[in-house]
Amino acid sequence: MSVALAAPHAEAVAAGRAVADAGGNALDAALAAAAMLTVVYPHQCAIGGDLIALVRSPRGETRAVISAGTAPAAILEASADWSAMPRTGVHPITVPGMLAGWCAIAALGATRRLGEHLARAAETAERGTPVTRGLERAIDAQGAAIAADPGLRGVLSHDGAPLRASDVLRQPALARTLRALAEDPDVFYRGDIAARLVDFLRSQGGTHAVSDFAAYAPVVEAPLMRDIGGREWAVAGAPSVGPLLLGIATAAQGDPAELVSASIRGVAARGAHLGDPAFGGVDVEALLDLMGDDAPRDEPIANGDTASVTAVDSEGWAVTIVQSVFQTFGAGLLDPDTGVLFHNRGGGFSLEPGSPAELRPGARPPHTLCPAIVSGDDLLVVAGCQGGRAQPWILGQLLPSLVEPAADPLEILGRPRWVIGDRDLGFEAFTYVTEPGIDPALAARAEEAGLDIASWPGPDDRCGHVNVVRSLPGGVLDAASDPRADGLGVVTAS
């Protein structure tokens, strides 16, 4: 069996490839890579974070795995005096969903024990891994947060100096935790690890309880699907931002200028309608139709937050996993006892009564994560994206080209992109920003909508890291990883 795999770090790809070479399928390879990423790419994902995934079976059936964390049951005891949702520290930490998400993905069709992948990741955490340029940039960008937290400081510095590229990142506490989880993943939610995590969170002033962890479960459901240009696009539903990708792709129909206009409308729709459907107030049709007259809601910066893994095999299994700590190094809290770095995904909640994103006990905040699968005409495109709030606009630019069988996926991922945003891109006002080489005529659409116009001097991390694998007519597989990241795409031999 051949497996195509793409991820943003070479060591994660090597872990997935080793599993594929030993007979594992696409799900096995992707899970091995995903577990390794939480060790080698801690600025973007950690087992204290979340994931959203799509899994497609050889029968063509697709399931969405929404493993987004829930707010503690006692969170309102802390929030009564807040004027704004905290963006760092203990209070935006929801129950981490990542490990439960891996278990759910494995249950859908993996052939290897998840514990194998966790044990391999533990070995790397113990032995150490070279710091990449991407991790070095993140350490520099978050120097103050790292210095302020004993856990982060202990892992990301040496003799008082921040780690540099090619220094060795060692995480012995995380290695011990991963080995315990390899024996029994359930202890993260209903055992010793859960109790230790809660003790740490409580020591930081959190309202978390062991009952919050014990009650957690991911949602596994049918994806949202829409025919666009004669092909079937599948995404995860709310609280994922997936519906917006369908909305903007439908509105644009491959026209680059229309995609700019649709994406601008999508920002308002997201702020007006995205939240946890389990608590009501979420209007999926309004998201799909890009309906929203409100100004963009003040949302936390979500840059450098995410890593994606994509895989497809010659038997027809396919998976895209997008996993995240939200902001770079998440909440800025790493538990020295367990080595677990926590996300701050709860920063996406709103304190506005009646908002679909309103902070409520047990609720999940809106998610930027946007895995996608496009199929049709004996072609399958499986994509995942890092890019904060820009993920729908980034995928909207790439997928119409990636569905062309003759296209070179690496060349497409290397093309210049545009994004829209404000504080997440480093601007105070809502701004359309381009890398060099974008058609200048597209800026006219953004100007008509009242956006500021800006550019970056070269390929920029803020334009996202995309990983894609494809199954082409005739059963040919290919893979590509974004040149803006530190990874690669590979295809194993059958």
Q: What amino acid is encoded at 270 in this protein?
A: R
CATH of region 223-302+370-491, choose from 3.60.20, 3.40.50, 3.90.930, 3.30.70: 3.60.20
Q: Running DSSP on this structure, what letter comes out for residue 48? A: B
Mean pLDDT check: name the lowest of 153-157, 321-325, 368-372, 418-422. Answer: 418-422
191-214 confidence digits (pLDDT tens)? 999 999 999 999 999 999 999 999
d(CA 135, CA 119): 23
pLDDT of 427 over the 90 cut: no
Could you tell me if 346 and 93 are in contact, meaning their C-beta atoms sit under 8 angstroms apart? Answer: yes
pTM above 0.85, yes or no: yes
d(CA 331, CA 337): 17
469-487 confidence digits (pLDDT tens)? 999 999 999 999 999 988 9
- Quote the mean pLDDT of the chain: 94
pLDDT of 374 over the 80 cut: yes
d(CA 340, CA 342): 6
Residue 303: predicted pLDDT: 47
Give the orientation angle of helix 172-183 with respect to helix 26-40, to 10 degrees.
150
pLDDT of 168 over the 70 cut: yes
Residue 428: predicted pLDDT: 86
Direct distance between the N- and C-terminal alpha carbons of the chain, in angstroms, rounded to an integer: 4
Q: Which residues contact residue 404 at a Cβ distance below 8 angstroms, ignoring those fewer than 6 apart?
A: none
CATH 3.60.20 domain position(s) in the chain: 223-302+370-491
Q: Considering the chain, what percentage of its residues have pLDDT values greater than 70?
A: 97
269-312 confidence digits (pLDDT tens)? 998 999 999 998 789 999 999 997 654 444 444 444 689 999 99
Token look-up 């005096």 returns 81
438-469 confidence digits (pLDDT tens)? 999 999 999 999 999 999 998 988 899 999 99
SS3 assignment, position 355:
coil
97-152 confidence digits (pLDDT tens)? 999 999 999 999 999 999 999 999 999 999 999 998 889 999 999 999 999 999 99
